[in-house]
Amino acid sequence: NCDAGTYASTAGSNSKSSCLRCVAGKFSTVTASASSTTCFDCAAGKYSEELGAHTAGTCSNCAAGTYSSQRGSASSTSCVDCGAGKFSTRTASQSSTTCVKCAAGKYSASVGASMATDCLDCSKGKFSGTLGAVTISACFQCGAGKYLPVEGSVDEGDCLKCSAGTFSATLGATALDLCTACPDESTATRGSRAVTDCVCNMGYSGPNGATCTACGFGTYK
């Protein structure tokens, strides 16, 4: 009799040398089989490179970060990578629906990612509300007059305004100390974007953003 994993399609065969092996991607638990129909496909999400496999256990799982909807796969090359901007922690996945988008505030240019940590945070000074972002260009810079000292931010509202009396023309500023103080005896409102937003204090005069001098005797501001 032919062993499990093999079959004899020729009538009257009396030697195991005439038994044919199930092809890669299939297995058979049946002994004395007379047909290849007893060679069963490895399930979707799995593959087997082994000839004459005699148990479903020889079918290997597609790795995390990949999936395969194809039955009877004979190679790991049938396992398709999750696309950029996605990841999957599951093995033996049968569909791209198991590939999860990177969260807002993150991005991933890698294919076949297998962990959430493969999604990289937008850097300080930037934010992104996009799910499944595939490139750092999805992370937008905070505007002038603002800064953002943390990574992985998801909304422009996370950008903090420069304090009153300071300004910043820098896009994507990452720290409060990038907000520059107005010239002496002048001030500016929170979130000011240019030195010209600095206005001389009461009792002082001068061009916005320039030197402020005290008003002369008998004058006022």
SS3 content of the chain, % helix, strand, coil (to 5): 15, 20, 65
Mean pLDDT, all residues of the chain: 95
Look at the block and give the residue holding tokens 């996370």: 158
Reported confidence tier of residue 179, pLDDT bands at 50, 70, 90: very high
Q: Does pTM surpass 0.95?
A: no
Reported confidence tier of residue 221, pLDDT bands at 50, 70, 90: low
DSSP per-residue string spanning 154-197: --GGGSEEPPTTEE---TT--SGGGSEEPPTTEE--TTB-SGGG
Amino acid identity, position 145:
G
What would the pLDDT profile of 129-173 be if each residue is shown by its tens digit?
Answer: 999 999 999 999 999 999 999 999 999 999 999 999 999 999 999
